[in-house]
Structure 1
């Protein structure tokens, strides 16, 4: 849905499920298991490339992608604020902001003020295929933020978001990884997994099934049972 409001477009992607319930269920899982479920369904390249991690090891992100496309540019055009206004107004409850950066390393491409504005419009976390700044503020406010590195340099005059809620490409394990608005983003201390929108529930249910089996397998192993018997009974090891 796109609506023009005061010269900036509002583009909202509305999911077809209860985002709060699905988010709570995903947050009980871990990235390796979500990745395994995707592999089982034939999707072998859905993880972002190694090196993207949360600011603290306990942070997790789970929610439909709100995509933002950024470029390196020396422009200081104040009209960029119209883009940011439209971006924040387009956010829906439970979304995870995902920014591409085209490999730019010149500055901090996401910070505390952006997180504050995003959070006020329903965003529950951010995945930046580049850098953040204001890291201590982001940690103190408890806003789950994933990035590749940290950089204190201001973005204005170096980097800007020029579009949003469009397909973007980030660094993946096997080259570029496409992320569409609404694809489900899940990340923990091991990295970030991208679940295609149409598979959001199917992957969740399969991962939950395996999660329960793993708990039983883990307990059996701790009791010293024969690992062959454990694998035969529970199918997860």
Structure 2
């Protein structure tokens, strides 16, 4: 049978959800899911409106039922759902109650295995309890740490005879992988609903799962993946992903239209002393960013000769909590450099300070190895321990904004799209 593509409408606004579903149906998706955020935002009215708008489509309500199984199944069924989602870790009594209610109203139950300790064993138990579909699901926060359902699908498909669904960061590449592993239902959220061309994104996934076009990517290190992801996101995307944190204060780009991404080599020095700042060029490796605290906006510890030296060594850029000079030379070199001020005078190489000590630059703590991203908006620091997760989250922010841009181009305003008045704090 042809794999089923289920569209997860994990957004807050029902009118946006309806429009996205229309565009996705044109691209070849099969089932429509009222996602948990949509149901929490709009209630059962979201299910009713989707049913009225798409009377011929299979409609799933992702209720994530954990208790009162019969009551919540009844709510969703009466609102028009064909399938209702229940948590696989719910108590057996809740599962049994939900199954009985589903039979009463002639609908099906899908069990979500998110956070289940032993998903293979639990999948078999759920089948025996009367569940109709097993969903192997890694939630959004888990996806941001790199987890996908690909590896576990085949194990569960071997032990159950009911349909298996898979969800969690799937795209045109890994969707085909989970189909080959045994999943018959592919649940796609962000990679369709956050696209600026929903129909095209859905079509790519449709073609991939129908033709089982599994693309084997060349393996890359975690660092390489992080660099690639940060290059795709802007510094505003990254600060949004960090809950509006991480941005350096009063640090501005000296060269426009350049992007800087790399791991920090830190320099702590004193007013006008440029010895350690220049010595750091030999300490840094290709692709690193030199981050300097100099403490003075009036005396430059950096200039054109040091910038040229960085280019020869493959240094990705420099950030200075302090001043810079020779900016005409630096701009001609198109070297990524960020500083607090521009002055003509330099200090002297006295040799005070340290390389690769924890410093404070632009009001942010910076440790050696932290990721530094700079563009025309400014500079952001991402702790190395959280870099992969933040890079993934930043790209989800970027995708969301791409979709919003598309909707605004159609004539809406940002306030209208996001229903800002509805969500104002009372």
Q: TM-score range by the shorter chain?
A: 0.7 to 0.9
Partner residue, 1:235: none
Distance 1:100-1:85 versus aligned 2 partners, 3 A rule: closer
Q: CA deviation at 1:53?
A: 1.0
Picking from 246, 259, 262, the partner of 1:60 is 259
Query: Do the aligned partners of 1:48 and 1:191 also contact (CA within 8 Å) in 2?
Result: yes
- For the pair 1:48 / 2:248, whether they are aligned, the reply is yes
178-187 or 106-115: bigger deviation: 106-115
Deviation track 1:180-225 (CA, whole Å, cap 9, x = no partner) reads 0011111222221110001111111011112112111210121125
Residue 334 of structure 2 aligns to a residue whose secondary structure is coil
- Once the two structures are superposed, residues 44-80 of structure 1 have per-residue CA deviations (whole angstroms, 9 ceiling, x without a partner) of 542211x311113313221111111111278xxxxx8
Contact 2:272–2:294 (CA<8 Å) still a contact in 1?
no
- In the alignment, does 2:374 pair up with 1:195? no
Tell me if structure 1 keeps the 8 A contact 2:255–2:334: no
Give the ranges of 4+ consecutive aligned residues of structure 1 lying more than 6 Å apart after TM superposition: none
Residues in 2 aligned to 1:58 and 1:227: alpha-carbon distance in whole angstroms: 27
CA contact (8 A) 2:272 2:346 kept: no
Structure 2, unaligned runs of 5 or more:
1-220, 420-426
2:346 counterpart SS class: coil
- Tell me the distance in 2 between the aligned counterparts of 1:161 and 1:143: 26
Cα gap change, 1:122/1:17 in structure 2, threshold over 3 Å: closer, same or farther? farther
Q: Conserved in 2, the CA contact under 8 Å of 1:66 and 1:95?
A: yes
Q: Secondary structure at the match of 1:71?
A: coil
Shift of the 227–99 alpha-carbon distance from structure 1 to 2, 3 Å rule, reads closer
| Higher strand content, 1 or 2 | 1
What is the rounded CA distance, in whole Å, between the counterparts of 2:339 and 2:333 in structure 1?
A: 17
RCO comparison, higher one (Cα < 8 Å, 6+): 1
Provide the rounded CA distance (Å) in 1 between the counterparts of 2:362 and 2:403: 36
- The offset of 1:89, in angstroms, is 2.6
For residue 17 of structure 1, the aligned residue among 214, 222, 230 is 222
Picking from 234, 252, 255, the partner of 1:30 is 234
C-alpha contact (below 8 Å) 1:62/1:187 kept by paired residues: yes
Unaligned runs of 5+ in 1: 1-15, 75-79, 233-237
Distance 2:352 2:399 in 1: 41
Q: Is the 8 A contact 2:267 2:277 kept in 1?
A: no
CA distance in 2, matches of 1:219, 1:17: 32
Q: Does 1:170 align with 2:357?
A: no
TM normalised by structure 1 equals 0.74
Are the aligned partners of 1:31 and 1:190 in contact in 2 as well (CA < 8 Å)? yes
Of stretches 56-65 and 197-206 in structure 1, the one that deviates more from structure 2 is 56-65
Deviation at 1:135, TM superposition (A): 0.4
For 1:147 and 1:17, the matched residues in 2 are separated by 29
Give TM-score, length-normalised by structure 2. Answer: 0.43
User: Which residue is equivalent to 1:99?
Assistant: 292
Larger radius of gyration: 2
| Larger helix share, 1 or 2 | 2
Q: State the partner residue of 2:309.
A: 117
Q: How many residues align?
A: 199
Cα deviation 1:3-27 (Å, max 9, x = unaligned): xxxxxxxxxxxxx6344x5334322
Distance (whole Å) between structure 2 residues aligned to residue 223 and residue 211 of structure 1: 19
Q: 1:156 aligns with which of 335, 344, 348?
A: 348
The 2-side partners of 1:46 and 1:227 are apart by 25
Q: Which is worse superposed, 93-102 or 21-30?
A: 21-30
Q: Secondary structure at the match of 1:67?
A: strand
**Aligned residues of 1:73 and 1:160 also touching (Cα < 8 A):** no
Deviation track 1:72-109 (CA, whole Å, cap 9, x = no partner) reads 278xxxxx86x56752332112111110012x234211
